[in-house]
Amino acid sequence: MATARTATGSPAVALRPPRACPRLFSTCPGSPRPAALRDLGPQGRPMGSPGPATADYLPGDTMPTAIPRTPGRNPAPGALPLLGHAASMLRDPLGFFAGLPAHGELVDIKMGPFKALVVTTPELIHQVLMDDRTFDKGGAVYERTREVLGDGVVTCPYKEHRRLRRLAQPAFSPARHASYSRIMCEQIARVTETWSDGQEIDILTDMTTVAARTGVAAFFAGHLSSPSLAKTPKDLATVSRGVYRRMIVPAPLDKIPTPGKRRYDRSRARLRSTIGGVIADYRRTGEDHGDLLSMLLATTGDTLTDTELNDAAITFFFGATDTIAITISWALHRVSMDRRIEEALHREVDTVLGDRTAAGHDDLEHLVLTQQIITETLRLYPPVWIFTREVSTDTRLGGHHIPAGTDVVISPYLLHHSAELHPDPERFDPSRWETKGLEPIRRNVLPEILPFGGGARGCMGETFAINEITLALANISARWRMRAVDSAAVRPTSGAILGPSGLRLRAVARDTET
């Protein structure tokens, strides 16, 4: 049962309305009650430990049932001739989606000629995610993504998916997480050591650097000193951002050679050729460098081809960059806005670290409030706020006939901002997760929160991501107090990914405090 707590305390910080992303039209479609450290129970699961083997409910789980909702399938109101709901989507896409449950379990939306069906209830979302054969990856958004990522595990259809996921799985095995955490800590330190007391930080850029370098080091540790990899983290950041842009820009518009497009094309070509060169080198020497690429190459039997390895590397880098950078940035921003949460976080980190200056892998399970803050950040700002499926064969959903070819939309944002599931949903309140820690996320498809999707297509990098975000939040908080430069300028931007715009933070060294 979804039992989100009612938050108490002073008023939540109101979010400014999100800035609409014009590109969306073209395609697809308080004070919080921080848990005192002494109150924190042992709910946090060791982060290197595996989540449930499948995305199914854990025994004893029940679906939330007491959710008042409009039954049936209805069109979203306010469609204009020709434009459909494009104007509402342009004005306030997040508000538009968050309002849809009031109109039905299934809500039809139209953006120009593009029609889609938005699924608004936890039960039906669960049904869609669990039936990945019927609700397959496909449709306009995936066509565009495939052009960029190749036919990797994220983009491939059902018929190729099991094999690719099985072959990529060893990269995410629990045994690998301690070594990933070491790399993460090194890269966090490398960036934050350049900060000085009182410096204004472009936090999203710095965290993108951390995430991109971590991805490259995890994949190519054996080649890091190679000059050919010098530009890889930067190329990766350019390509990763470009991928999201290209998911929602129609193909003809994407042919216009703008400076951004040329930069993206150059970085993408260089990235692919660098990865290809490293793969060839590893194959030639046959040496085991103890990194991800060596491991994928050492697989026997059915193995990945060079093209599939290249796609796997791009997919890994793409998954591991912007989503992580955005979540760390949002978390630091929200902590900086609430002194009580900030103090509780600093207390937790100081207690866990003792005399040490930085947390490592073995500390993850003790950083319980840190992880509650992350869960709450992912609830309010799920980076992947919307994703789609294409119905492969006529089916039924909520008693309704859904023909093959229908585009189905799922929005974690919609679910995460539901007042029935999360009372006072706009309030940033990590104590909602006091008794749950990361469990709701770990259950993958427990519908109260699904930042990592669910079912057979659920995120493969969830533990990797949560570990990196936890270590970044803890290690930054151990040394720095972040202060908003202009919190009123910060807004969620809802393109293909939900990032903060206008976010600048000032780093104040904690050891200079009296």
Q: Is 507 exposed, middle or buried (0-12, 13-18, 19+ CB in 10 A)?
A: buried
Six-digit token string for 79: 């469609």
Whose Cβ is closer to ligand HEM: residue 31's or residue 240's?
A: 240
What track of x and - describes contact with ligand HEM for positions 265 through 304 (by CB under 6 A)? ----------------------------------------
Residue that is written with structure tokens 């990194």 in the block: 291
Six-digit token string for 304: 């990945």
Residue 170 DSSP one-character state: G
Whose Cβ is closer to ligand HEM: residue 96's or residue 464's?
A: 464
Q: Of 319, 437, 447, 500, which lies in the binding site for ligand HEM, with binding defined by CB under 6 A?
A: 319
Using CB under 6 A as the binding rule, whether residue 386 contacts ligand HEM is answered as no
Of the listed pieces 32-40, 113-121, 399-407, 450-458, which binds ligand HEM according to CB under 6 A? 450-458
b/e per residue 298-334 (b: at least 16 CB within 10 A)? eeeeeebeeebbbbbbbbbbbbbbbbbbbbbbbbbbb
Among candidate residues 475, 148, 451, 184, the one with its CA nearest the CA of residue 321? 184
Six-digit token string for 48: 């290197």
Residue that is written with structure tokens 């006939």 in the block: 401
Judged by CB under 6 A, the chain residues 299 through 318 that form the site for ligand HEM are 315-316
Whose Cβ is closer to ligand HEM: residue 282's or residue 316's?
A: 316
Using CB under 6 A as the binding rule, whether residue 145 contacts ligand HEM is answered as no
Q: Of 397, 452, 472, 495, which lies in the binding site for ligand HEM, with binding defined by CB under 6 A?
A: 452
Using CB under 6 A as the binding rule, whether residue 457 contacts ligand HEM is answered as yes
Q: Of 89, 117, 154, 421, which lies in the binding site for ligand HEM, with binding defined by CB under 6 A?
A: 154
Whose Cβ is closer to ligand HEM: residue 86's or residue 167's?
A: 167
Using CB under 6 A as the binding rule, whether residue 324 contacts ligand HEM is answered as yes
What track of x and - describes contact with ligand HEM for positions 37 through 76 (by CB under 6 A)? ----------------------------------------
Report the alpha-carbon distance of residue 300 to residue 296 in Å, rounded: 9
Instruction: Please say whether the beta carbons of 424 and 12 come within 8 A.
Output: yes
Among candidate residues 269, 273, 300, 295, the one with its CA nearest the CA of residue 282? 295
Q: Of 451, 492, 495, 499, which lies in the binding site for ligand HEM, with binding defined by CB under 6 A?
A: 451
Among candidate residues 325, 324, 334, 366, the one with its CA nearest the CA of residue 347? 366
C-alpha dihedral (94, 95, 98, 101), degrees to nearest 10: -140
Of the listed pieces 26-34, 248-256, 280-288, 459-467, which binds ligand HEM according to CB under 6 A? 459-467
Q: Of 97, 428, 433, 464, which lies in the binding site for ligand HEM, with binding defined by CB under 6 A?
A: 464
Q: Of 165, 234, 346, 400, which lies in the binding site for ligand HEM, with binding defined by CB under 6 A?
A: 165
CB of 262 to ligand HEM, least distance (A): 28
Q: Of 27, 327, 371, 477, which lies in the binding site for ligand HEM, with binding defined by CB under 6 A?
A: 327
b/e per residue 185-203 (b: at least 16 CB within 10 A)? bebbeebbeebeeeeebeb
Q: Of 141, 397, 408, 459, which lies in the binding site for ligand HEM, with binding defined by CB under 6 A?
A: 459
232's enclosing H/E stretch is: helix 232-248
Using CB under 6 A as the binding rule, whether residue 144 contacts ligand HEM is answered as no
Whose Cβ is closer to ligand HEM: residue 86's or residue 476's?
A: 476
Q: Of 387, 413, 433, 480, which lies in the binding site for ligand HEM, with binding defined by CB under 6 A?
A: 387
3-state secondary structure of 111: strand
Whose Cβ is closer to ligand HEM: residue 25's or residue 413's?
A: 413
Whose Cβ is closer to ligand HEM: residue 216's or residue 459's?
A: 459
Instruction: Please say whether the beta carbons of 146 and 155 come within 8 A.
Output: yes
Instruction: Please say whether the beta carbons of 264 and 345 come within 8 A.
Output: no
Q: Of 153, 207, 239, 364, which lies in the binding site for ligand HEM, with binding defined by CB under 6 A?
A: 153
What track of x and - describes contact with ligand HEM for positions 226 through 265 (by CB under 6 A)? ----------------------------------------
Among candidate residues 328, 308, 329, 325, the one with its CA nearest the CA of residue 236? 325
Judged by CB under 6 A, the chain residues 117 through 136 that form the site for ligand HEM are none
Ligand-binding annotation for 21, yes or no, is no
Judged by CB under 6 A, the chain residues 355 through 384 that form the site for ligand HEM are 383-384
3-state secondary structure of 260: helix
Contacts of 258 (CB under 8 A, 6+ apart): none
Using CB under 6 A as the binding rule, whether residue 139 contacts ligand HEM is answered as no
Using CB under 6 A as the binding rule, whether residue 430 contacts ligand HEM is answered as no
C-alpha dihedral (246, 251, 252, 253), degrees to nearest 10: -20
Using CB under 6 A as the binding rule, whether residue 465 contacts ligand HEM is answered as yes
Among candidate residues 161, 7, 4, 15, the one with its CA nearest the CA of residue 494? 15
CB of 378 to ligand HEM, least distance (A): 6
Report the alpha-carbon distance of residue 483 to residue 319 in Å, rounded: 29
Residue that is written with structure tokens 């995410």 in the block: 172
501's enclosing H/E stretch is: strand 498-501
How many residues bind ligand HEM (CB under 6 A)? The answer is 22
Residue 67 DSSP one-character state: -
Using CB under 6 A as the binding rule, whether residue 461 contacts ligand HEM is answered as yes
CB of 71 to ligand HEM, least distance (A): 26
Site residues (vs ligand HEM, CB under 6 A) = 153-154, 165, 315-316, 319-320, 323-324, 327, 383-384, 387, 451-453, 457, 459-461, 464-465
Query: Which positions make up the binding site?
Result: 459
Binding-site residue set for heme = 459
